[in-house]
Structures are given as structure tokens and as C-alpha cells.
Amino acid sequence: MAKLTFVGGIHPYDGKDLSKDKPIQDVLPKGEMVYPMSQHIGAPAKPIVAKGDRVLAGQKIAESGGFVSAPIYASVSGTVKSIETRRVVTGDLIQSIVIDNDGLYESMEFHPYAPVDKLQKDEIIDIVKEAGVVGMGGAGFPTHVKLSPKDPDKIDYVIANCAECEPYLTSDYRRMMEEPDKLIGGLKIILKLFDNAHGILAVEDNKPDCISLLKQMTKNDPQITVKALKTKYPQGAERQLIYATTGRKINSSMLPADVGCIVDNVDTVVAIYRAVTEGRPLMERIVTVTGDAVANPRNFRVPIGMSYQELLDVAGGFKQDPEKIICGGPMMGFGMFDLNVPTTKTSTALLALTQDDVSAMEPSPCINCGRCVEACPGRIVPSLLATYAEHFDEESFVEHNGMECCECGCCSFVCPAKRPLTQEIKSMRKIQLAKKKKK
């Protein structure tokens, strides 16, 4: 039987052995907590607290700034120290609420809503919206928007993205192994919104224990199927995941709902479950701290707003000075210049490597080998598009489907000339998207 996959892709060293067998560890931050108002795609949240206010964990501190937005909740108890701009992992200065953690960890009382079977569809969506749930796989798209397509009856599949194809990351794997009931429960809640939909738990086959566990737990549920995907990067990218599991194709101008699919990350699905069944807003997530420079790689349940430096300290700090520190994975993460920045709803990992292979590379002219074309999951020509980007030839870039790039990094990874293909294409895509938004 052919394994479910897509055309193209690569097989980088996955580095998952460093942390995959480390159970989730709860951490209690001791330093100040910082909550940026932009932790999602869309309008920034608006503060509803003031300097000097005392807050509890689970208390709303910022409300949605529009339909495509999400509220933000305190994850510890303490006093609002200030509302000011703070630096985030991307280097941007973002308006943030700063809370002095009092170390008491006092929390609001959370009350379950009515049994799921008695909730109306719009009530479930409102609960998800009020809980501040966003896509936690990296993009940060407000989940209530994703769960509100124009025609819900045309949704055929709800796909839980359990692939976790990014090297080194193991947070989703640990969540699936330790709390599979919440993942399956969350998927069932989403399925209640779409009368004609079937649920898919899409897992890469490098997690056989996870596949076996999920199959065992869903064997008597005709509404949910566990699908084993071929282990290949970027198997978890939305377009590639949809194609591998359903055979349907989307491009950059389409949404998954246009081909009858809804896709959500593991942590997002669990957050939906907790919001609906426990009444808990989104105020924590699982983060992997890993890399060969980290003393004790682990997976942590992290209160959102905790600094990366404090999180690294819990992992024992560095056993060797790193040459490269990344927020996220090595393929699509952000290089970090400062660890004194806050974790957010979209934080997935802190990766510290003793060698910076990318900085050591010396780019040379393209040798026209075609490896980037073979590896590209978007079926475009990265070498050509990068050349257009270098020469600011915007018309040719768009004409040759530059906007179809998903910025996965496969082309840069395989290029024998060490050209920064993804970086060049990404820069031009940003320019084009900014112009489109301006229009």
C-alpha cells in the first residue's frame, strides 16, 4: 500500500531523539510576564486593564480588536506593571501588557459549559472565540474565523495536523501520547460544527506508537480515521497535508475551506476541547526546548508570557555556548538575538545549536542542477524566482508563480551552490503581499 504523501520534499536530520521521550513538565515562571497584543494574524487585541490593576490567572486582560482578532488572558496572578512596547522574537516592538508575577498563581474559577451535545453550533464558535484560541502551529490565525466558513455544509474533512514534520520539535508528539483523549475530544467538538464532515488524525509514520494509540482509541468511531503519512518534510504544511490525506489541491489564492477542508494543529484542537468542556481560556501551551547546546532538552507546559530566558534556565541552560538560537524549528523558525522576549500563543520551540551551518555557507553561482525544482513541494522553480527577486523583477516573479512558495526552505536545504533561495523569494513575497494589502 502506497504511503500518503506529496511530490517533492526532503529528509533532513530530525533531531527528535533529544526530547521525544521526555514527558511534559509543568513550569511556574518567577519573573515578570509580558503579553504582546499581536499574538495572532489580524487586528491587535486591545488592553482592558490599567497600570496597578491586580489580575488572576485566566482573567481577560485584552479584548479582540475586530472579527479577525483574539482576546488575551493572564497566565499568572499579579499586578499590571505597565502597558508599553516590548520586543518580540521577530525583533518587532509590539504594545504589550507587563505583569509583575506575585508568585501566588491564584486563578479564576473555570466552569464547564453545557454538555457539548446540548450546545448550538454558534455557541461553540463563540466559546472558542472568547477563549482566545488561535492556530498554534505557527501562523496564529484566529480559530473561530477558521471554524466559520461561508458554507459549512461543503466541509467534507476536518484534519487534525499531527504530522509535526519540523525537525527537533516534539511538543505535539508528547501531547498526543500523554493527552490523546483531549485531542480526540477536541476533534469531535469541531466535527459537531460540520454535518457532512469526517475527521482525520494525520500522523507521520515515524510515530508508530502514536498511530497505534490513536487507532486503538478511535476504532469504534466511524466518524474519525487515523491516517499514517510518509515521514517527509514539509508533510505538515497545510497544502501538502490536504493533498496527502484527501488528494485535493489548493494554491496561494485559496483557503482549505475552498476544497472542503478544515485543518487545525494538535495544540489548537486541545485548546478547543479545554475551552468548551472546561471553560478554560488559552493561557498555556507546550514548548520544546532542545538542541545539542541545551543541557536538558525537554517539553514544557509553559504559561504564555514567560520569557525564553527563564524557560531555558529551567532546562538547565546551555552546556555549550550555541552559535545559533532559533525560535521554532531549523527549517521555518526565526533566528533569535535576545532570549529576554516573551513566549506567545504561537511559540513552539526554543532550539539552540552548537554550530551555525547556514552562516558558514559561502553562496556561489547557480549550476542549473535542478535539485531545488525536484525538492519544491509547490512545483515551482526556486532558482529562477530567486534570481527575479535579487533583481527586483516583480513582474516576472509574479508571472512565474512566485506567490505559490510556502517558504518551507527545501530549496535552500538542497542547493549545492548554497544560494539563499528561500530568503530571496520570501523577501519578494513580502513586498507583493504588502502591495496587495495596500490596494
| Annotated binding-site positions | 366, 369, 372, 376, 405, 408, 411, 415
Residue 153 CB neighbours (<10 A): 11
Q: Output DSSP code: residue 68.
A: S
- Only one residue has cell 482566545, namely 132
d(Cα 13, Cα 7) in Å, to the nearest integer?
A: 19
Bridge partner residues of 294 (DSSP): 318
Q: Burial letters for 30-68: b for 16+ Cβ neighbours within 10 Å, e otherwise?
A: eebbbbbbbbbbbbbbebebeeeeebbbbbbbbebbeee
d(Cα 150, Cα 244) in Å, to the nearest integer?
A: 25
d(Cα 94, Cα 97) in Å, to the nearest integer?
A: 10
d(Cα 105, Cα 58) in Å, to the nearest integer?
A: 10
Q: What cell was used for 352? A: 539552540
Closest to 383 in 3D by CA, of 392, 396, 370 = 370
**Cα distances (Å, whole numbers) of residue 361 to 19, 329, 382, 416:** 28, 19, 18, 10
Q: Which residues are annotated as a binding site for [4Fe-4S] cluster?
A: 366, 369, 372, 376, 405, 408, 411, 415
Phi and psi at residue 383, to the nearest 5°: -60, -40
Identify the helix (H) or strand (E) that includes residue 122.
helix 121-130
Q: What cell was used for 319? A: 552546556
